Structure 1
Amino acid sequence: MITEAAIQLALFAVLFLISLYIPLLGMIATFFLSLPFIIFTMRHGYTYALVLLVASLIVSMLIGSVFSLPAALMFGTAGITIGALLRKNKSRYVVLLASAFVFLINMIVDYIISIKFFEMDIIQESFSVFRDSFQTAMQIMKGMGQEPPQQLQEQLEQGLELVKYITPTLFVLAAFLLAYVTMVVSVPILKRLKLPIGAWPPFRDFMLPKSLLWYYLLVLVVSLFPLEKGTFAYLAVFNIYYLLQLLFVVQGFSFLHYVANKKNVSKGVVIGGTILCLFLPFLLYLIAILGIIDLGFELRKRI
């Protein structure tokens, strides 16, 4: 066990080194940072994996700096969570949900620490950089004798204001994306190592709990009341609404995949149609409505 811990620690060190100092390859290596912890946890349990995590934090600080600790902690804890649940033969959807929650907690804690102790708000700085770039582009257009359209500037401000309000939703989406990609790149390697990984349940059988419909109805009722922009209540209702809409879109796609399977529609057509819908916002809205109807009236039982 000590020998394997040393091997996994060395593997983590190499991946962490690549992620820090090699630009393009580093982005790919980042998604494999949890892999050593997944493998070690599945073989020896999460108790010993926590010792490996402590050692990896020390190594990450030696390779990078104190600022490298949050990344090592985030991918380490997520890897231990994935490994511990896979070891217990939990459903991959459960593993995805739990690991996304771990990623989300790490991201929120890192964001709070960066504001409180380092006085650095990454989100606000990103907005400032984007505004400066936009203003520079506008100045270049004026220099070329073209007057920038006022409507374009208004749309930019509205877009930035929307992004600012849905920042919590973006955090959740980023956490799920990190968890999903981590699992996707890790599963083939775990399979080659003959570790028990289970299988993804068919997407067509995915069903949300019906209780979400009541939450959605409650959010719609609350949104009828005048809420002051920027307040906690406004942000909470705004973000819960968007998250529920995204969940109902997933439910709608699951229903369409179920129908396609029943009608023997080829997988190529189903995948192509799904990708096409992702680029057409009005179709996504219709699919969300379809998901709500499917969840409320159990359309699948009528097919």
Structure 2
Amino acid sequence: MKQRYTTVVWSIIYLLLLLSLLTPFSMITAFLLVVPVALLFTALNNKSFILHIAPVWLAIALIHPVYLVMAAFFLIPGIVMGSLYRKRAPAMKVLRFGMSALLAELLILLVVATAFFQLNLNEYVDEIVKITTDPLREMGVSGGFTGGMTWTAEQTEALSRMTMLMVPFAMIVSSFLITVVTHAIARPALNRMDIAVPSLKPAREWMLPRSLIWYYLLVVILDFANQDSGNRFIQVLVVNATPLLQMCFMIQALGFFFFLAHTRKWHPVIPVLTAIPIVLFPPMIIIGILDLVFPLRQAFSKNNR
């Protein structure tokens, strides 16, 4: 009875989240829309899942058909993650498949919009960047923004080019964040419903593949070699792969500090605080790189003994 009440509540939450997509809160609620689908698909059998979802879809269809498109988009990754939760798959596998489903959908959506709806991504990005930077130009002209320097049209154009180059990075990071947020909320919610779902390994045990070092070295070489040739494909590869690999090294560095705190019996808040300098000062990724290249953890474990 308690589980039935809880699933009805999550159906209502699902409806409210869908309705929020046409409001100013959509940038936040979009990261939560996979949660109710994954949770309901895990907790219910297929027939009950449809009975919970159908009224929500009917309600949003009566309000505006565009809600159905948005609901269908977030439905697929929710079902993918929910089906893996049903099988008690490892958390990392759930995240990997959920992220892949979202990324594949984004790519398909981009292809369909370009081929059938004449979406010009270049023009769209230019317009967004222009809307964003126009206030900067006005502030610069009227108030000496940034020490008397004005935001020029050339800077807007350069920002637009860079934004266009980093569209793949934005798609990957968005898919990753939505999946992580979904797991972070769905897992404890399912546990409260007496549905055991595997958790991620403790942060102190995070260890990424050592091959990332070779990928990073390859990207650095490609960046150096492409400075004269100006190959656009290599440029897109370097611009997107560099921040992605740096994010991986940040995660590795954070895992190292959690390991160090656990080994040295530090206060639990200390490794959390280390996330601030790791994010704010990019050179800190060298700690993550060293942790992958050298057996630092084994060395600290031996010293602790």
Query: What residue number does 2:286 align with?
Result: 289
For residues 157 and 199 of structure 1, the distance between their equivalents in structure 2, rounded to whole angstroms, comes to 45
Native 8 Å contact 1:111 1:121 kept in 2:
no
Native 8 Å contact 2:169 2:244 kept in 1:
yes
Letter aligned with residue 86 of structure 2: R
For residues 244 and 143 of structure 2, the distance between their equivalents in structure 1, rounded to whole angstroms, comes to 43
Count residues with an aligned counterpart. Answer: 294
Query: What residue number does 1:225 align with?
Result: 225
Q: How far has the Cα of 1:40 moved from its partner?
A: 4.0
Q: How far has the Cα of 1:119 moved from its partner?
A: 2.3
Aligned CA-pair RMSD: 3.5
Return 5+ residue gaps in structure 2 as ranges: 301-305
| Correspondences of 1:131-210 after superposition (within 5 Å) | 131-135=130-134, 137-139=136-138, 142=141, 149-150=149-150, 156-210=156-210
CA 97–53 in structure 1, closer or farther in 2 if over 3 Å, else same:
farther
Letter aligned with residue 102 of structure 2: F
Q: How far has the Cα of 1:136 moved from its partner?
A: 5.2
Q: Which deviates the most, 101-110 or 153-162?
A: 153-162
Query: What residue number does 1:263 align with?
Result: 264
Letter aligned with residue 235 of structure 1: V
Query: What residue number does 1:94 align with?
Result: 93
Q: How far has the Cα of 1:122 moved from its partner?
A: 5.8
Native 8 Å contact 1:91 1:198 kept in 2:
yes
Query: What residue number does 2:303 align with?
Result: none
For residues 180 and 33 of structure 2, the distance between their equivalents in structure 1, rounded to whole angstroms, comes to 14
| Correspondences of 1:55-134 after superposition (within 5 Å) | 60-65=60-65, 67-121=66-120, 124-134=123-133
Letter aligned with residue 256 of structure 1: F
Q: How far has the Cα of 1:82 moved from its partner?
A: 1.2
| Correspondences of 1:7-18 after superposition (within 5 Å) | 11=12, 14-18=15-19
Q: How far has the Cα of 1:20 moved from its partner?
A: 3.6
For residues 158 and 291 of structure 1, the distance between their equivalents in structure 2, rounded to whole angstroms, comes to 31
Letter aligned with residue 167 of structure 1: V
CA 241–132 in structure 1, closer or farther in 2 if over 3 Å, else same:
closer
Query: What CA deviation, in whole Å up to 9, does each residue of 1:24-65 have, x standing for no partner?
Result: 4x6665444334432343245679968988997676544422
For residues 132 and 32 of structure 1, the distance between their equivalents in structure 2, rounded to whole angstroms, comes to 27
Query: What CA deviation, in whole Å up to 9, does each residue of 1:166-221 have, x standing for no partner?
Result: 22111111111111112222223212211121222101111111222222233233
For residues 205 and 70 of structure 1, the distance between their equivalents in structure 2, rounded to whole angstroms, comes to 40
CA 254–79 in structure 1, closer or farther in 2 if over 3 Å, else same:
same
Q: How far has the Cα of 1:160 moved from its partner?
A: 3.6
Q: Secondary structure at the match of 1:226?
A: helix
For residues 43 and 129 of structure 1, the distance between their equivalents in structure 2, rounded to whole angstroms, comes to 41
Identity %: 24
For residues 114 and 169 of structure 1, the distance between their equivalents in structure 2, rounded to whole angstroms, comes to 19
Native 8 Å contact 2:15 2:56 kept in 1:
no
Q: How far has the Cα of 1:302 moved from its partner?
A: 1.2
For residues 237 and 38 of structure 1, the distance between their equivalents in structure 2, rounded to whole angstroms, comes to 34
Native 8 Å contact 1:9 1:56 kept in 2:
no
CA 61–117 in structure 1, closer or farther in 2 if over 3 Å, else same:
farther
For residues 129 and 119 of structure 1, the distance between their equivalents in structure 2, rounded to whole angstroms, comes to 17
For residues 198 and 269 of structure 2, the distance between their equivalents in structure 1, rounded to whole angstroms, comes to 25
Q: How far has the Cα of 1:99 moved from its partner?
A: 0.8
CA 251–47 in structure 1, closer or farther in 2 if over 3 Å, else same:
farther
Query: What residue number does 1:214 align with?
Result: 214
Q: Secondary structure at the match of 2:225?
A: coil
Length-normalised TM-score, structure 2: 0.79
